[in-house]
């Protein structure tokens, strides 16, 4: 049975970020994930984790100017110094918080550009080699072109292609089922095909990106497929609740009751 991590960047937004740890624990979650921790000292986050008996499944490297629409630095020209600093920063937080996985965002760049690809491969390898010393896994996530036009990794197929070139054992696919359905589709066969490349999984309904008990993916079957192919990591609940977060968790209670 999959283990679920609450995404605190999207869930429990009825309260301030640091208070979301307690809200997630009270809702029955044993782990959390989120986009970025960098607005808060690592010590403050660690105190909330310890207070509520939680672990962190994953968070992202610094993405650049998020408010201006930037989505990472690894493939972007002219941002090398910022990228290198972001690796130091992410690994410092990962060590302090005991985080086993970090998502490295590529940025808005041309996937067909040899220059952008060479830069990206070089930067991912650098991050992977630095992270390996701490036993940290790097994940690469495709972001669909409907929500994030111009992203360097627009599909699972693109990630698999670049993973083959990066060729580092601690770099894997961040398999977000919402994005994967919108770009690659055929989720059952896709899951079977990428099973040995999956480093982390995230879940939401398609196409609304709400709770997974609606839309075009039958989530119990999708989760059973993940079980069947041997995925035993956390499944991040990276969705926008349709209403109040806790009121929308009936899908999770129902799933646990059936499993």
Catalytic residues: 141, 238
Q: What is the DSSP string of 210-226?
A: S-SSSSS--HHHHHHHH
Alpha helices in the chain (DSSP H): 20-26, 42-52, 80-97, 114-132, 156-166, 177-183, 187-194, 219-228, 250-258
Asked if 180 and 156 count as a contact pair (C-beta separation under 8 A), the reply is: yes
Alpha carbon distance, N-terminus to C-terminus of the chain? 7
Q: Hey, is 57 helix, strand or coil?
A: strand
Asked if 61 and 85 count as a contact pair (C-beta separation under 8 A), the reply is: no
Q: Which two tokens stand for residue 164?
A: 């083959």
Asked if 212 and 243 count as a contact pair (C-beta separation under 8 A), the reply is: no
Q: Which of 15, 45, 12, 46 is nearest to 28 (CA)?
A: 12
**Phi, psi (degrees; rounded to nearest 5) at 151:** -70, 145
Alpha carbons 143 and 217: distance in angstroms, whole number:
18
Q: Hey, is 241 helix, strand or coil?
A: coil
Q: Are strands 3-7 and 198-203 parallel, antiparallel or unpaired?
A: unpaired
């Amino acid at each position: 049975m999959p283990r679920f991590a609450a995404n605190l960047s999207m869930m429990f937004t009825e309260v301030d970020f640091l208070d979301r740890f307690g809200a997630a624990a009270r809702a029955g979650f044993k782990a959390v994930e989120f986009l970025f921790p960098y607005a808060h000292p690592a010590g403050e986050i660690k105190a909330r984790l310890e207070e509520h008996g939680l672990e962190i499944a994953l968070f992202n490297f610094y993405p650049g100017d998020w408010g201006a629409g930037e989505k990472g630095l690894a493939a972007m020209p002219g941002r090398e110094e910022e990228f290198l600093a972001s690796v130091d920063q992410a690994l410092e937080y990962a060590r302090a918080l005991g985080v086993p996985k970090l998502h490295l965002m590529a940025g808005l760049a041309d996937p067909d550009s040899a220059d952008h690809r060479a830069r990206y491969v070089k930067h991912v390898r650098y991050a992977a080699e630095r992270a390996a010393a701490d036993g940290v896994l790097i994940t690469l996530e495709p972001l669909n072109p409907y929500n994030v036009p111009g992203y360097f990794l627009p599909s699972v197929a693109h990630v698999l292609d670049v993973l083959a070139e990066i060729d580092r054992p601690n770099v894997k696919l961040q398999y977000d089922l919402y994005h994967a359905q919108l770009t690659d589709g055929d989720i059952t066969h896709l899951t079977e095909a990428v099973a040995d490349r999956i480093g982390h999984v995230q879940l939401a309904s398609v196409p609304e990106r709400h709770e997974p008990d609606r839309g075009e993916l039958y989530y119990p079957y999708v989760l059973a497929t993940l079980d069947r192919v041997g995925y035993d990591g956390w499944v991040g609940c990276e969705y926008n609740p349709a209403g109040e977060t806790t009121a929308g968790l009936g899908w999770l209670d129902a799933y646990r009751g059936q499993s």
